[in-house]
Amino acid sequence: MIARIERISFDGPNLIFQVDRTKYVIQSARISDRLACADQALREKAEILPGGHTVHWPLLDLQMSATGMMQMGRRYFA
């Protein structure tokens, strides 16, 4: 089964994303220095690409796969 990103949001420097009804969190700096240094408005310009397998930040020229994010992140319990 291929992981599909259902939604993403930011809480300060942390990216919170949901895959198959499970939430994960990852620090922006673990993904990219560009993402970590970007202001909130640029971070929020993320797009979940068709199929849900990849997140793309077009203004930062950055992409991250759902599988990669899950491997780097940890489960999020809010």
How would residue 20 be classed by pLDDT, with cut points 50, 70 and 90?
confident
Q: For the chain, how many structural domains are there in total? A: 1
Assess whether pLDDT exceeds 90 at residue 35.
Answer: yes
Q: What is the pLDDT of residue 1?
A: 65
Residue that has been written with the tokens 């849900």 in this structure: 52
Structural domain span for residue 51: 5-75
Contacts of 1 (CB under 8 A, 6+ apart): none
What would you report as the CA-atom Rg of the chain, rounded to the nearest whole angstrom? 11
Q: Is the pTM of this model over 0.75?
A: yes
Assess whether pLDDT exceeds 90 at residue 76.
Answer: no
The CATH number for 42's domain is 3.30.2020.40
